[in-house]
Copies of this chain bind each other. A is one copy, B any other.
Amino acid sequence: MANEAASPVCYAPADELFACAAPRIYMAEQYRKDFPVLDQKIHDHPLVYLDNAASAQKPRMVMDAMTRFMENDYANIHRGVHELSVRATDKYEAVRGTVRRFINAAHDDEIIFVRGATDAINLVAASWGRTFLKAGDEIILTTLEHHANIVPWQMLRDSIGIKLVVVPITPEGDVRIEDVKAAFTSRTKLVSVAHVSNALGTVLPVAEIIKLAHEHNALALIDGCQAVSHMPVDVRGLDADFYVFSGHKLYGPTGSAILYDKREILKQMPPYQGGGDMIASVSFKETTYKEPPHRFEAGTPAITEIIGLGAAIEYVSTIGLNRIARHENELLAYATEKLRAINSLKIIGTTPNKAGIISFTMEGAHPHDIGTILDRQGVAVRAGHHCAQPLMEFLGIAATARASFGLYNTKADVDALVAALRKVQEIFA
């Protein structure tokens, strides 16, 4: 996958907006200026933001799209005949098309707007899970899943008695397709796995996993939170049944996220939340629901944020996901080499199948101490369990420090990280 992502082939559909020139030279500096937050000092040092896997910064264009919308076109959607409501509805609904093209879905109505990836997985667990699963049915997960892809299934397990089957990872942090294969039984109904691990950066062989799922008459949910910002994603190419991601990790606003859900499956799913805008008719005796996607968007949605997400997708698409992938993979290779040279440092997750995330520990220095010392030098990394406690337990560590790259990071950022890590060594010598 990493190789595929790095190839210069133009992935984007031949559509003006998404045209990508894929020139050979990537100038992260050229994009840095789009992100006002990057231009500041932290404790008197220039900010080096390497916490993109937790959340990405927002380009001026996204903020402007939101402000412009609120300045010019804002109104509640769907229910109004007046001009502002028409404009707001049109702009909101148009983002479905933007998202569809971005992930190469077949239909706009397969795109559900939700609050976060967490919300999306809870929706699937509650709506699809409670409808189609019964006691004894099995869901396959892997050891490296984010809590968002564990806890909703545990809650479902505790409520209806399904079984969770966990595929272990290799010491390098890979999920081997043989191990996934071995996890299937006749009761397997769903495989729910990350596309890219937020803790280790591992790119999972999701196309093969989905194929296996379908061969076993099971469905596949892909948690794409860490994939969509790092590489082109093609849900139809993958044949994913559900694909989820959050807007805020894709340079978009908080409060916006996508659940892609195949039309035939969506049609059979009962609503998750009840309220306005998802009903066809309500009486105290009987209520009927709208067709998807609206059935799953109860109440006033995050209208402005969805407009912002549309802008973020336009932004990354204009740069081109292939170029971003190549750039980040270069950074990853460079950082890996530099970090390897620090003798007290251990990279956690050494598979070559990685996207712009690098986790590590240091002898004698706890990740939180690393985080604090780096912060005092302007370098923002994350330290902790990365919402992947079962993975940490599996690895026998309490936490890691994690640097994760965005399209605006540079080799100079990596150099600053390395210099800051030397200070950690010095203090904990």
Asked if A374 contacts B116 (CB within 8 A), the reply is: no
Interface stretch (choices A69-77, A94-102, A179-187, A233-241):
A69-77
Cβ-based interface call for A429 (8 A):
no
With A273-B152, A302-B115 as known contacts, state yes or no: A147 contacts B76, CB within 8 Å.
Answer: no
| 0 or 1 for each of A133-165: is its CB under 8 Å from B? (1 = yes) | 000000000000011101110110000000010
Cβ-based interface call for A221 (8 A):
no
Q: Which residues of B lie under 8 Å from residue A275 when comparing CB positions?
A: 116, 118, 121-122, 146-148, 151-152, 387
Residue of B nearest to A198 (CB): B276
With A81-B368, A254-B304, A380-B84 as known contacts, state yes or no: A74 contacts B57, CB within 8 Å.
Answer: yes
Asked if A282 contacts B82 (CB within 8 A), the reply is: no
Cβ-based interface call for A189 (8 A):
no
| 0 or 1 for each of A262-295: is its CB under 8 Å from B? (1 = yes) | 0000000001011111110111100100000000
Asked if A254 contacts B51 (CB within 8 A), the reply is: no
Looking at the assembled complex, report how far the CB atom of A331 sits from the nearest CB atom of chain B, in whole angstroms: 19
Q: What's the Cα separation between A254 and B277 when bound, in Å? A: 15
Asked if A83 contacts B42 (CB within 8 A), the reply is: yes
Q: How many copies does the complex hold?
A: 2
Q: Which residues of B lie under 8 Å from residue A273 when comparing CB positions?
A: 118-119, 122, 152
Interface positions of A from 60 to 104, Cβ below 8 Å from B: 63, 66-67, 70-76, 79-85
Cβ-based interface call for A117 (8 A):
yes
Residue from B51, B63, B115, B253 in contact with A82 in the complex, judged by beta carbons closer than 8 Å: B51
Q: What's the Cα separation between A119 and B274 when bound, in Å? A: 9
Asked if A303 contacts B254 (CB within 8 A), the reply is: yes
Looking at the assembled complex, report how far the CB atom of A31 sits from the nearest CB atom of chain B, in whole angstroms: 16
Residue from B253, B282, B284 in contact with A304 in the complex, judged by beta carbons closer than 8 Å: B253
Q: What's the Cα separation between A58 and B256 when bound, in Å? A: 19
Interface positions of A from 349 to 384, Cβ below 8 Å from B: 368, 371-372, 374-375, 379-384
Residue of B nearest to A54 (CB): B76
With A70-B58, A74-B58, A282-B147 as known contacts, state yes or no: A375 contacts B83, CB within 8 Å.
Answer: yes
Asked if B80 contacts A71 (CB within 8 A), the reply is: no
Q: What's the Cα separation between A75 and B298 when bound, in Å? A: 28
Asked if A51 contacts B274 (CB within 8 A), the reply is: no
Q: What's the Cα separation between A148 and B300 when bound, in Å? A: 10
Q: Which residues of B lie under 8 Å from residue A171 when comparing CB positions?
A: none
Cβ-based interface call for A347 (8 A):
no
Q: Which residues of B lie under 8 Å from residue A81 when comparing CB positions?
A: 368, 371-372, 375, 383
Cβ-based interface call for A305 (8 A):
yes
Looking at the assembled complex, report how far the CB atom of A266 sits from the nearest CB atom of chain B, in whole angstroms: 18
Looking at the assembled complex, report how far the CB atom of A408 sits from the nearest CB atom of chain B, in whole angstroms: 13
Interface positions of A from 375 to 405, Cβ below 8 Å from B: 375, 379-384, 387, 389-390, 393
Cβ-based interface call for A246 (8 A):
yes
Q: Which one of A148, A166, A300, A303 has the greatest number of beta carbons of chain B within 10 Å?
A: A300
Looking at the assembled complex, report how far the CB atom of A401 sits from the nearest CB atom of chain B, in whole angstroms: 10
With A116-B299, A389-B282 as known contacts, state yes or no: A274 contacts B75, CB within 8 Å.
Answer: no
Q: What's the Cα separation between A146 and B51 when bound, in Å? A: 42
Q: What's the Cα separation between A276 and B74 when bound, in Å? A: 32
Looking at the assembled complex, report how far the CB atom of A33 sits from the nearest CB atom of chain B, in whole angstroms: 13
Residue from B37, B70, B82 in contact with A381 in the complex, judged by beta carbons closer than 8 Å: B82
Selected A-B contacts with CB under 8 Å, 10 pairs? A37-B73, A57-B74, A79-B382, A118-B275, A118-B276, A152-B273, A246-B299, A254-B300, A254-B305, A255-B301
Instruction: Return the 5 tightest CB-CB contacts between A and B, nearest first.
Output: A118-B299, A151-B274, A255-B302, A255-B255, A118-B275
- A binding-site residues for B, Cβ under 8 Å: 36-37, 40, 42-43, 47, 49, 51, 54-55, 57-58, 63, 66-67, 70-76, 79-85, 115-119, 121-122, 146-148, 150-152, 154-155, 164, 166, 246, 248, 253-256, 271, 273-279, 281-284, 287, 298-305, 368, 371-372, 374-375, 379-384, 387, 389-390, 393
